[in-house]
Amino acid sequence: MSYERITKPEGYLYHYTKRDNLDNILQDGHIRRMGDIECWFSTSLEDILTLMHQTVMMEGKPYYGLGGVLKHYPAFVPEDYVILKLEPRFQSGDWVRWNQEFPPSAPPELLAAGQVFSSLKVGFRGDLKFREHPEIIEVAPLILEQALQQNLTM
């Protein structure tokens, strides 16, 4: 994987978290890195939902955790998650994009999927402080709304 420095995103950022973490996040006033170098965000609600669909909503899907340990996503319970719509406070630090790397022999459709996945999120090197009172968005109703819209378009 490779990191690319980017300019600070403008406007609001979206961050998903388990509901159990919400009180501590609101009390601290910042998103912590949780053992990683960066904390991760999306620049739109649509992107954060797409990211969730491709990660935490993929029950049983393997992924590599911190330290390269192979893990599997547990069962996804929408009521256990919230999305924070927050406005970063001024602070110095680097903004990055993580670009998925593939071997040269990777098929073009895999390369394209990796590029789309990498574009869904931006990282801040450090713990990101945010302005008070971020909007808390419940995930369960959003997932239900998406499912209903998909059924209507079929």
C-alpha to C-alpha distance for 93 and 132, rounded to whole angstroms: 20
Q: Is pLDDT above 90 for 18?
A: yes
Overall domain count for the chain:
1
Residue 145: both structure tokens together: 């709304």
C-alpha to C-alpha distance for 87 and 65, rounded to whole angstroms: 28
User: In the prediction, which pLDDT does 44 show?
Assistant: 97
* pLDDT (tens digit per residue) in 60-91: 999 887 777 899 999 999 999 999 999 998 77
Stretch 82-110: mean pLDDT: 90
Q: Which class for 19: exposed (0-12), middle (13-18), buried (19 or more C-beta within 10 A)? A: middle
C-alpha to C-alpha distance for 55 and 13, rounded to whole angstroms: 18
User: In the prediction, which pLDDT does 154 show?
Assistant: 60
User: In the prediction, which pLDDT does 68 show?
Assistant: 79
Stretch 112-118: mean pLDDT: 92
User: In the prediction, which pLDDT does 151 show?
Assistant: 73
pTM of the complete model: 0.90
List the domain range (segments joined by +) for residue 123: 2-153
User: In the prediction, which pLDDT does 122 show?
Assistant: 96
* pLDDT (tens digit per residue) in 35-56: 778 899 999 999 999 999 999 9
